[in-house]
Amino acid sequence: MEQNQPNEGQILADVAELRDRFSHTQTLYKEVAALLFFRYGVTPTANKLYQLVRKGSMSAPAQALQTFWEDLRDKSRVRLDMADMPEELQTLTGDLLGRIWQEAMGHSKQQMLHYQTQADERVALALENAQEAQQALEAGRGALKSAQENIEQLNNQLQEAGQEQAALKQDLLHAKQRQNELETEKQLTQQELRRQGEQFAQDLERLQKAIELTEERAQANERRALLEIDKERSMQTRLRQQIEEIEQANKAQRQAHEQEQNKLQDQMLKLRQELGQEQGERRAMQAALDISHSLAKEMQGQLQLLRTRSALLERENEEARRKAQQLNQELEQAQAQQARPVRLKRQLIRNDPKP
């Protein structure tokens, strides 16, 4: 059989045309295998088919190639019905004769085409060119010899196909081993995921317990803060009461000072005795003022602490601070009013000629 030299670009163009004509994957692979074998004289392999088509998985071209060879063997098999010949030998002999017959028929068709183009010339020169006829006979023998060589080449290709099949079986074995390894890795991964899930559940449970404990502590802190706030409010109430008492005392003292000032003319003789009494009262007043100052400072410190603990008491702290400032001002006014009759008494004493 005369074989064309494979042209990769032409093969790709023919494969593209077949791709447009056949959409089914197995049919497309079989048609590409027939194209390579019959048109270009190239023995198709699974790798070659997949490189040209690139459709489906790697098992698709191998399956299509196996179907192609089985169809080719069925079409080219010459069946020998001999009772004494084993069935396997009949099959091998039929396959071999079928291949020889196909090769001979192919060469005969090509030779017939050649003979038809020169038929008229050979008829005209038949008697004169007997020697050429003998050469043509030798050429026929050479063609037969070429057919035998092609048969041997086909046998070699079959051996190569068998080697490729063995290599494919080896690849399949490696693939199964890899699949087993992946299955083992999958089981290990699932075990690790289960372990991590259990660990996560335990961590989540511990976290929930910690959150509950934190909430309990926060509630306890809130209760303590409310108790401290109530305590501060009670202290503020007591401070207000003390301030009111001091204010009432100062008011009474101012009234007493006014009465004493009105009766100053009549009580000049008793001024020294009253002066001593007044000094004692002034010391008591000063002690009361000192107590009021210390209470005001303590209240300011408590208000500052209360401001840092809770923003809700800010207004009450501001009110207490304002009242404390007012108390200081009233105390200063009371001191000023108290100092005024004392200075007057001292002046009267200095002006009194009595010892």
- 323 touches 243 (CB < 8 A): yes
State CA 193 to chain mean position distance.
16
pLDDT (tens digit, 9 = 90+) per residue, 161-218?
778 888 878 887 886 888 888 788 888 878 887 888 788 778 778 878 877 887 888 6
Residue 3, pLDDT > 50, answer no
Which DSSP symbol is given to 39?
Answer: I
pLDDT (tens digit, 9 = 90+) per residue, 40-60?
888 999 999 999 998 888 889
pTM score, whole prediction: 0.27
> What is d(CA 287, CA 281) in angstroms, rounded to the nearest whole number?
10
Written as six digits, the tokens of 210 are 């910690």
Res. 351 pLDDT band, cuts 50 70 90: low
pLDDT (tens digit, 9 = 90+) per residue, 297-309?
887 777 677 677 7
State CA 107 to chain mean position distance.
68
3-state helix, strand, coil in the chain (%, to 5): 85, 0, 15
Percent of the chain residues topping a pLDDT of 90: 13
> What is d(CA 320, CA 237) in angstroms, rounded to the nearest whole number?
10
Res. 94 pLDDT band, cuts 50 70 90: low
Closest listed residue to residue 91, CA positions, set 66, 69, 74: 74
Written as six digits, the tokens of 197 are 């899930």
Res. 249 pLDDT band, cuts 50 70 90: confident
Written as six digits, the tokens of 55 are 């459709």
> What is d(CA 315, CA 53) in angstroms, rounded to the nearest whole number?
85
Residue with tokens 């090509």: 110
